[in-house]
Amino acid sequence: MSCSVFNFLKKSIPASHVFAVFSGLMTGTAFGLFIPLMVLSNSEKVVSYEEVAAVSMVEDALRLAGRSNSEEEGISYITLPGVQKYDGPRLAQSMPIETKETWLSWMGKNRGDDPAFLEQRWTWAQNLVKTSELKHPADVRAFLLTPREYFVRAQNKGLEYADTWLPIGYGATITDPDVVSMMTTTLNVNPGDKVLEIGTGSGYQSAILSYLTKDVYTIEIIKPLFFETDALYHNLEKTFPSFSAINRKLGDGYYGWGEFAPFDKIIVTCSIDHIPPPLLRQLKAGGIMVLPLGPPNRQYIMEIVKNEAADGSIILSRRDVYNGQSVRFIPFRDEIGASYSTPVIEKSE
């Protein structure tokens, strides 16, 4: 039957028409294959954790990091907002969260958030409360006030509230919303606490912290990422003034920020197989440190509580906040890209 149909078409349709149809099919096929390949080849999205981890080990990218007391073209590598700090926690406490309607109404009157993302943020918050990854009302408010959409980089637009980590360039990532929330809740930050974050990254974690306390300090080791996020904060400060109170530093987070120690809470957002001694020293007695602890490709988010005995000795208690569920974070590396998950000879702070 197919032959008879072919013969009929051959007799009934002029050759010029057949050629035009054939050319169109060939052209369409070519474009159909070429355009997806072109998009894939030009896409900046990273499709696997292994690829991101590999980028984080590229020495050239990490050699761009500089020390905190350096200057280049007149730009200080430390951004200190100064004595007058915006009171993010007070704003958070004034925000109603009893119902979605009252919250949306308040946000519309008091904030400049993109309404397109508010529904997604509210849904996330409700789910995180159900899973206990957001436990305290203050943490719920901080999550609801923080516009994650500004911290997800351009190549991942459309995935702002996706349930996954996302690459932000330079071998770094923005952590999943649920893991960020769990680590925040575990810190149990109170207004007035002095909090140190190791690994500024996208800036999202510190932005959340700025609605829990006015005293947030954060360190980033990758120079271009530091300046990128620093500029992002500056651009957002007018709309979200809480971000103006975040103290930022370019440097090696392993050694903390001794100038402003001790800290009530410390959060580490890169993986390591031991607790960095300098950070432990800079943590107050009674303080909490949260970090991904363990060997490469298999870390556990640990809560470390530091207490001091009557004789002055240090007592540490540890808790796996996900009860045996492992996580994956980018490795904790020094200024030349070497992993800190090996014995370290300390230098002076």
Q: pLDDT tens digits, residue range 197-226?
A: 999 999 999 999 999 999 999 999 999 999
The structure tokens 């351009």 sit at 154
d(CA 305, CA 284): 10
Task: Report the pLDDT value the prediction gives residue 127, as an integer from 0 to 100.
Answer: 98
Stretch 36-45: mean pLDDT: 36
Q: pLDDT tens digits, residue range 267-299?
A: 999 999 999 999 999 999 999 999 999 987 789
Stretch 317-325: mean pLDDT: 96
- Per-residue pLDDT band for 49 (boundaries 50, 70, 90) equals low
DSSP 214-279: SEEEEEE--HHHHHHHHHHHHHHTTT-GGGGGEEEEES-GGG--GGG--EEEEEE-SBBSS--HHH
Q: Return the CATH class of domain 49-320.
A: alpha beta
- Per-residue pLDDT band for 52 (boundaries 50, 70, 90) equals low
Task: Name every residue whose Cβ is closer than 8 Å to that of residue 74 and which is 6 or more positions away in sequence.
Answer: none
d(CA 240, CA 11): 72
> What percentage of the chain has pLDDT greater than the value 70?
75
Task: Report the pLDDT value the prediction gives residue 335, as an integer from 0 to 100.
Answer: 81
